[in-house]
């Protein structure tokens, strides 16, 4: 007993020290996975295409359901990666992953080459391009914005104004833009938009108590443990009005306000309404780089274009190419806390893989 | 000579004649009073000659099939025209031999059996010609057999599935002429009354020659003929006599008018099930292989048409383009839809009678343009530049144009919307109605009665503005591929105005599949059964084709096509109105030319 355990640990630690893991994507999933692995003694390189890590969280104003600061999450993760000794490479967008002699060769469009024993793809998601729903007028009408624009504006200015600089008196929040919409080719649910919409509606109400807020939804998917209570709070305390029905079209009026046409499916009636501002809750799509990352290896997309897991229950982080793993929204839409949990489980899968990897002196 | 050999042939022929008379009389009697009047009035020499000419060109020579594929055309021509000549020449030969104009009806068919070796005026030439045309017909039969097994040689990707009745008729048809060759060959060997072909065949089978084998062969030939005639009315070969009637009826100006009548039957029975429509149908790419026009026609005839098939069609009209018989497949299908949904029509009794506004021009954007506000914005800019006094009729509230309901067969419901819109259009006193959606355009032109109001498609309106130099778009080197929308191109025959507009702004690249053969974008409102995934397959197929020409922009003149193509995400898609407006902006020609005159009127419009 006494002899057995330490031997294994010593052997493991020695062996693992020589292993190198490359993590693609310096968002929260990549940062979390990289720092966990580095803390276990592995050499880890985190590659980020932007000038800094943090990914999309850098743009967010507040997180649901507790209105906490995404900046703090990113800050803590930054500290963790530095402390663990992760080698962070920014300004580098990996476009190819190739397996050579049992190792992986990662390269970008220039001449950067990274060699690794295992790879974690944490390339995240792409925000749905709302101009594809031309009937909602995004990009055409100045007072139609997306939920991403809302977060950015709130973060930058701390307030919400129409393009004319006035405080909106009526705001419509449109759910499921680019999600569960076969017409635009996305039949899946992006999962986080419903609660994002409720969070943003409450924020508007807190900021502008006189402003009426309407949420147009198909059905509300409030899966998180605290989400339903936030929904109740939105209705009771903040007087947010929820209308079951998809928006059919928006038209800009001469005063730049918007006329909405929809159907209230609970009343079974067509509905026409004027609002000052429309917020489109845009969904999550597979990252644009997915196809190039899959090109030179055995990684496969799932039916929605995200990375396919070998088993969605037992091995969600394991990709169809041996030695390549996924973390976070590269697998499917998920919230911040789920992403972080998912990244830690990806790190564990990598450890298990490298330990048992016969080609590399594992046991 | 044994006379009984004519019995199978005679029985078959009498049965066929009786059935044809019964059906033709029934069909003509079933036409409406007005249509019957039309038919009677069409009995004029010039019209009859025109119809006869068409029967000759299409029924015998098969000119349309020749144009599509020469080998396939030859196959049909050699069978139809060759057989026709055999019949005509056979009669002349018998008349020459008997020196009489009145000859027994069966004699030309069995001439070589009954006429053993008498010579008469030009008998050598006759037998040579008869052999020659027999050879032509046989070459057609050989090609037909080859086509069943190797359809690719005939430029066809698909051929129709046959049912038992058709198979029996087909087999007897294939047997007629080889048996005739053998029988005449045998007679030639026995009596020396053949020419180059039959004599040679006679020599080859000479070792079996005897009176009895001769009798057996001629009996078999007679049976094949009789069997074919008997099978014809219940097989697809009914198209041969029916097509002749169809040509006369169609040339009398008779059309389907939203309800079935016997004109439906005439068209249905005229379908030869050649399958040319199958190759033109895009839906096969999405794995839909049961709803094409040929199957719809067949199922109408067999009374087993399902709604699943009836409504699974883009109504793009491509099948009509190559139909050698000229069947109006779209009208026919819409009529079936009307009949199958008669009890579901909404009363629309909640429609409001909104007041009309006085204006010289009306703009009707329609539901589809409302889904593409970019096009509306461009149209408003153009109207503003033209200084037009425009009433944007459906800006806030207005019923749909009615066309989507029409496509779904909801004719009565559509009529309610048409009445409502018509009242407003006429009430406004406008001279012009501009639409930017081909779906609306088609129904306004075909089903509305708007008196003197001129209905203009935006392409026509814009090209007029360009010609009158009211707007001045700047020409660039932008490579433009123009996609013909189904409802506008094949549907309304409008191919040039949109291209004219685009030529003023850039370089229009001609593509292989354009105009009559243009793709459907896949977004069609006509199909009520197709899934979004299947639509995406059709859309991607079309985009892939257009991308070969490396366009900077894919132009279209239909908001629905625009939306459908935009979802592909791999190609820039713009409506012609948007292209024109952006080219005016680019050439910095923003100053409205005539705006000063009526600007105030328009400013009021906006408020």
Residue A141 in contact with partner chain B when CB distance is under 8 A: yes
Distance CA B459, CA B498 (A): 5
To probe the interface with B, which of A136, A144, A184 has the most B CB atoms within 10 Å? A184
- Helix pair angle (B458-467, B576-586), 10° resolution: 30
Mutate to test the interface with B, among A128, A130, A142, A185 (most CBs of B within 10 A): A185
Is A141–B376 a contact, with Cβ atoms under 8 angstroms apart?
Answer: no
pLDDT at residue B596 in the model: 39
**Any B CB within 8 A of A135 CB:** yes
- Strand, helix or coil at A213? strand
Cβ-Cβ contacts under 8 Å, A259 against chain B:
396
Please tell me which residue, B81 or B599, carries the higher pLDDT value. Answer: B81
Contact list, A246 vs chain B (CB under 8 Å) = none
Average pLDDT over residues B467-481: 94
B20, B245, B497 from B238: Cα distances, Å: 9, 11, 42
Per the CB < 8 A criterion, the answer to whether B575 and B378 are in contact is yes
Scanning B385-404 for CB atoms below 8 A from A yields 395-397
In chain A, positions 201-260, which contact chain B (CB-CB < 8 Å)? 249-252, 254, 259
Select the residue of A134, A249, A259 nearest B374 (Cβ to Cβ). Answer: A134
SS3 B503: helix
Q: How many CB atoms lie within 10 A of CB A264?
A: 14
φ, ψ (nearest 5 deg) of residue A311: -150, 125
Please compute the mean of the pLDDT values over residues B513-540 and round it to a whole number.
Answer: 96
Among B373, B395, B533, beta carbon nearest to A137: B373
φ/ψ region of B469 (left if φ > 0, alpha if ψ in -120 to 50, else beta) reads left
Q: List A163's β-bridge partners, or say none.
A: none
Interface check A5 vs B, CB under 8 A: no
Query: Residue A306 CB: number of other CB atoms within 10 A?
Result: 21
By C-alpha distance, the chain B residue nearest A182 is: B532
Of A16, A2, A10, which Cα lies nearest the Cα of A356? A16
Contacts of B567 in chain A (CB under 8 A): 132, 183-185
Taking CA atoms, A343 is separated from A304, A349, B229, B555, in Å, by 21, 10, 78, 45
Q: What is the C-alpha separation between A57 and A69, in angstroms, rounded?
A: 10
Comparing CB atoms, the residue among B370, B531, B566 nearest residue A249 is B370
If pLDDT is split at 50, 70 and 90, which confidence band does A12 have?
A: low
pLDDT of B411 reads 94
- What's the whole-number mean pLDDT along residues B303-312? 94
The answer to whether the beta carbons of residues A83 and A75 sit under 8 Å apart is no
Beta bridge partners of A116: A104
What residue in A sits closest to B395 (Cα-Cα)?
Answer: A251
* CA A84/CA A324 separation, integer angstroms: 22
Share of chain B above pLDDT 70, in %: 96
Is B533–A182 a contact, with Cβ atoms under 8 angstroms apart? yes
Among chain B residues, CA nearest to A288: B569
| B347-358 tens-digit pLDDT | 888 888 889 999
Q: How far apart are CA A258 and CA A262, in angstroms?
A: 13
Burial of A206 (0-12, 13-18, 19+ CB in 10 A): exposed
Cis bond before residue A65 (omega within 30° of 0): yes
CB B483 within 8 A of CB B554: yes
User: Does the distance separating the beta carbons of A132 and B374 come in below 8 Å?
Assistant: no
Q: What is the pLDDT of residue A10?
A: 54
Distance, in angstroms, between B375 CA and closest chain A CA? 10
Nearest to A32 by CA among A282, A336, A284: A336
Residue A4 pLDDT exceeds 70: no
Residue in chain B nearest A273 by alpha carbon: B396
Residue A358: the pLDDT is 56
pLDDT in tens, A64-97: 999 999 999 999 999 999 999 999 999 999 999 9
From the list B374, B397, B536, which residue is nearest A140 (CB)?
Answer: B374
Is the Cβ pair A134, B563 closer than 8 Å?
A: yes
pLDDT band at residue A13 under the 50/70/90 scheme: low
- Cβ burial of A76 (10 Å; 0-12, 13-18, 19+) is middle
Cα gap A90→B361, rounded to integer Å:
59
**Spatial distance between the Cα atoms of B65 and B68, rounded to a whole number of angstroms:** 5
B567: nearest CB among A183, A254, A259: A183
- Is B404 a residue whose pLDDT tops 50? yes
Q: How many CB atoms lie within 10 A of CB A259?
A: 15
Q: Residue B409 — very low, low, confident or very high, per pLDDT cuts 50/70/90? A: very high
- Contact residues for B547 (Cβ-Cβ < 8 A; gap 6+): B570, B571
How does residue B76 score in pLDDT terms, banded at 50, 70 and 90?
A: very high
* Among the partner residues B373, B563, B566, nearest to A251 by beta-carbon distance: B373
Rounded distance, CA A130 to CA A285, Å?
12
pLDDT tier for residue B154 given thresholds of 50, 70 and 90? confident
Q: What is the pLDDT of residue A109?
A: 86
A325 backbone dihedrals φ, ψ, rounded to 5°: -125, 165
- With a CB-CB cutoff of 8 Å, which residues 560-599 of chain B face chain A? 562-563, 566-567, 569
pLDDT band of residue B149 (cuts 50, 70, 90) is confident
- Say whether residue A157 is in contact with chain B using an 8 A CB cutoff: no
Angular region, B132: left φ>0, alpha ψ -120 to 50, beta rest: alpha
For A202-216, A255-269, B202-216, which range has the lowest pLDDT when averaged over its residues? B202-216
- Cα separation, B43 vs B170, whole angstroms: 35
What residue segments make up the domains of chain B, in order of their start?
Answer: 37-154+163-241, 261-344, 361-466+594-606, 474-586
B373, B396, B567 member nearest A185 (Cβ): B567
Q: Which helix (H) or strand (E) holds B369?
A: helix B366-370
DSSP assignments along B279-314, one per residue: HH-GGGGGT--S-SHHHHHHHHHTT---HHHHT---
State the pLDDT at residue B116. 76
B141 vs B492: CA distance, rounded Å: 40
Give me the pLDDT at residue A7, please. 53
Whole-number pLDDT of residue A6: 52
CB of B255 within 8 A of CB of B41? no
Tell me which of A136, A183, A250 to substitute to probe the interface with B (most B C-beta atoms closer than 10 Å): A183
Cβ within 8 Å of residue A6, ≥6 positions away? none
Cα separation, B54 vs B42, whole angstroms: 15
Candidate from A3-7, A117-121, B89-93, B488-492 with smallest mean pLDDT: A3-7
Confidence band for B120, pLDDT divided at 50, 70 and 90? confident
Whether B603 contacts chain A with CB within 8 A: no
Residues of B in contact with A254 (CB under 8 A): 606-607
- Which one of B377, B532, B606 has the shortest CB-CB distance to A140? B377
Residues in B touching A132 (Cβ below 8 Å): 566-567, 569
Question: Does the predicted interface ipTM exceed a cut of 0.90?
Answer: no
Nearest Cα residue in chain A from B573 = A132
For B210-244, the DSSP string reads -HHHHHHHHHHHHHHHHHHHHHGGGSGGGHHHHHH
Contact B395/A132, CB-based, under 8 Å?
A: no
Would strands A212-217 and B390-392 be described as parallel, antiparallel, or unpaired? unpaired
Nearest CA distance, B377 vs chain A (angstrom): 9
Q: Is the pLDDT of residue B600 over 70?
A: no
Number of C-beta neighbours around residue A208 at 10 A: 17
Interface test with A, best of B348, B368, B373, B384 (most A CBs within 10 A): B373
- The sign of the torsion formed by the CA atoms of B193, B195, B196, B198 equals negative
Please report the domains of chain A, with CATH numbers, ordered by start residue.
4-124+287-360 (3.50.50.60), 130-283 (3.50.50.60)
Q: Tell me the nearest-neighbour CA distance from A292 into chain B, angstroms.
A: 16
Q: How far apart are CA A178 and CA A333, in angstroms?
A: 13
Is the per-residue pLDDT at B159 higher than 90? no
Cβ-Cβ pairs closer than 8 A, A with B, add up to 42
Q: ∠ at Cα B361 (B357, B365), nearest 5°? A: 85
Yes or no, beta carbons of B373 and A252 under 8 Å apart: yes
Q: Which of B371, B395, B606 sits opposite A135 (nearest CB)?
A: B371
Class of domain B474-586: alpha beta
Mean pLDDT of B225-242: 93
Asked if B532 lies within 8 A of A259 by C-beta distance, the reply is no
Residue numbers of A between 166 and 185 with CB closer than 8 Å to B = 182-185
- Report the distance separating Cα B133 and Cα B82, nearest Å: 6
Q: Do A259 and B396 touch (CB under 8 A)?
A: yes
Distance CA A307, CA A329 (A): 9
Interface of B with A in 253-272 (CB under 8 A): none
CB A93 within 8 A of CB A109: yes
pLDDT in the model for residue B69: 86
Q: Can you tell me the mean pLDDT for B282-286?
A: 95
Which chain B residues touch A252 with a CB distance below 8 Å?
A: 373
């Amino acid at each position: 007993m006494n002899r057995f355990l330490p031997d294994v640990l010593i052997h493991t630690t020695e062996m693992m020290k020589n292993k190198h893991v490359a993590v693609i994507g310096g968002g929260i999933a990549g940062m979390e996975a990289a720092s966990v692995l580095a803390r276990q003694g592995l050499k880890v390189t985190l590659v980020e295409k932007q000038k800094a890590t943090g990914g999309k969280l850098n743009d967010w104003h507040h997180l649901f359901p507790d209105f906490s600061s995404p900046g703090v999450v990113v800050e803590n993760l930054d500290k963790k990666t530095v402390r663990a000794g992760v080698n962070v490479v920014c300004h580098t967008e990996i476009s190819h992953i190739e397996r050579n002699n049992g190792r992986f060769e990662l390269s970008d469009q220039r001449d950067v080459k990274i060699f690794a024993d295992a790879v974690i793809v944490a390339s995240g998601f792409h925000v749905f391009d709302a101009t594809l729903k031309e009937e909602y007028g995004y990009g055409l009408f100045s007072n139609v914005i997306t939920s991403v624009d809302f977060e950015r504006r709130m973060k930058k200015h701390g307030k919400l104004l129409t393009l004319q600089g006035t405080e909106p008196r009526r705001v419509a929040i449109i759910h499921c833009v680019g999600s569960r919409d076969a017409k635009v080719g996305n039949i899946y649910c992006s999962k986080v938009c419903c609660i994002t919409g409720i969070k943003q509606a409450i924020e508007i109400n807190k900021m502008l108590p006189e402003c009426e807020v309407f949420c147009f939804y198909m059905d509300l998917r409030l899966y998180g443990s605290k989400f339903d209570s936030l929904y109740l709070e939105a209705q009771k305390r903040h007087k947010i009005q929820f209308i079951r029905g998809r928006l059919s079209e928006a038209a800009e009026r001469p005063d730049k306000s918007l006329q909405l046409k929809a159907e209230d499916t609970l009343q079974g009636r067509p509905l026409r309404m004027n609002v000052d501002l429309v917020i489109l809750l845009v969904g999550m799509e597979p990252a644009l780089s997915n196809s190039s990352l899959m090109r030179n290896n055995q990684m496969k997309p799932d039916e929605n274009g995200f990375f396919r897991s070998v088993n969605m229950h037992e091995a969600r982080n394991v990709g169809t190419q041996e030695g390549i793993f996924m973390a976070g929204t590269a697998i499917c839409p998920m919230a911040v806390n789920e992403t972080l949990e998912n990244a830690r489980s990806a790190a564990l899968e990598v450890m298990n893989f490298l330990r048992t990897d016969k080609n590399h002196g594992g046991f | 000579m044994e006379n009984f050999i004519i019995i199978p042939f005679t029985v078959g022929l009498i049965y066929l004649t009786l059935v044809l008379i019964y059906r033709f009389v029934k069909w003509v009697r079933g036409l409406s009073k007005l249509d019957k009047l039309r038919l009677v009035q069409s009995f004029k020499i010039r019209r009859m000659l025109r119809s006869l000419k068409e029967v000759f060109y299409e029924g015998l020579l098969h000119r349309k099939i020749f144009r599509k594929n020469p080998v396939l055309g030859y196959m049909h021509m050699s069978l139809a025209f060759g057989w026709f000549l055999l019949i005509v020449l056979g009669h002349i030969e018998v008349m020459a031999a008997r020196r009489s104009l009145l000859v027994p009806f069966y004699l030309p068919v069995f001439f070589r059996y009954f006429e053993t070796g008498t010579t008469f005026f030009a008998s050598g030439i006759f037998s040579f010609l008869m052999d020659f045309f027999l050879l032509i017909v046989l070459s057609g039969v050989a090609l037909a057999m080859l086509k069943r097994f190797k359809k690719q040689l005939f430029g066809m990707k698909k051929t129709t599935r046959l049912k038992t009745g058709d198979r029996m008729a087909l087999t007897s048809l294939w047997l007629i002429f080889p048996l005739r060759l053998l029988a005449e060959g045998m007679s030639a060997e026995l009596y020396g009354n053949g020419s180059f072909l039959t004599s040679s065949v006679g020599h080859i089978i000479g070792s079996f020659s005897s009176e009895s084998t001769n009798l057996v062969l001629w009996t078999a030939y007679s049976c094949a003929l009789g069997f074919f005639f008997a099978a014809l009315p219940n097989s697809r070969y009914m198209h041969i006599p029916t097509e002749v009637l169809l040509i006369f009826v169609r040339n009398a100006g008779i059309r389907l008018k939203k309800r079935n009548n016997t004109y439906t039957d005439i068209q249905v029975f005229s379908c030869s099930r050649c399958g040319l429509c199958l190759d033109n149908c895009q839906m096969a790419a999405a794995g839909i292989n049961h709803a094409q026009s040929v199957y719809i026609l067949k199922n109408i005839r067999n009374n087993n048409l399902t709604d699943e098939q009836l409504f699974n069609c883009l109504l793009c009209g491509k099948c009509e383009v190559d139909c050698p018989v000229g069947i109006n497949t779209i009208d026919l299908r819409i009529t079936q839809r009307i009949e199958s949904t008669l009890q579901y029509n909404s009363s629309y009794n909640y429609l409001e009678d909104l007041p009309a506004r006085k204006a010289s021009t009306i703009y009707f954007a329609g539901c589809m343009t409302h889904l593409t506000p970019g096009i509306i914005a461009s149209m408003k800019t153009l109207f503003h530049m033209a200084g037009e006094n425009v009433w944007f009729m459906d800006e806030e509230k207005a019923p749909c144009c009615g066309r989507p309901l029409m496509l779904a067969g909801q004719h009565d419901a559509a009529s309610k919307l048409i009445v409502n819109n018509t009242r407003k259009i006429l009430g406004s006193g406008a001279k012009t109605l501009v639409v930017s959606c081909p779906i609306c355009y088609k129904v306004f032109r075909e089903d509305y009665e708007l008196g003197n109001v001129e209905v203009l498609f935006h392409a026509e309106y814009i090209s007029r503005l360009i010609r009158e130099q009211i707007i001045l778009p700047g020409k660039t080197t932008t490579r433009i591929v123009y996609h013909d929308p189904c409802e506008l191109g094949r549907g309304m025959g409008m191919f040039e105005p949109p291209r004219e507009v685009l030529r003023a702004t850039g370089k229009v690249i001609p593509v292989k599949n354009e105009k009559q053969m243009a793709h459907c974008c896949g977004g069609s409102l006509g199909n009520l059964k197709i899934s979004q995934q299947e639509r995406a397959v059709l859309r991607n197929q079309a985009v892939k084709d257009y991308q070969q020409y490396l366009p900077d922009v894919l132009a279209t003149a239909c908001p629905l096509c625009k939306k459908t193509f935009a979802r592909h995400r791999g190609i820039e898609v713009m409506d012609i109105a948007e292209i024109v407006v952006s080219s005016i902006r680019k050439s910095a020609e923003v100053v409205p030319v005539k705006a000063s005159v009526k600007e105030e009127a328009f400013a009021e419009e906006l408020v």
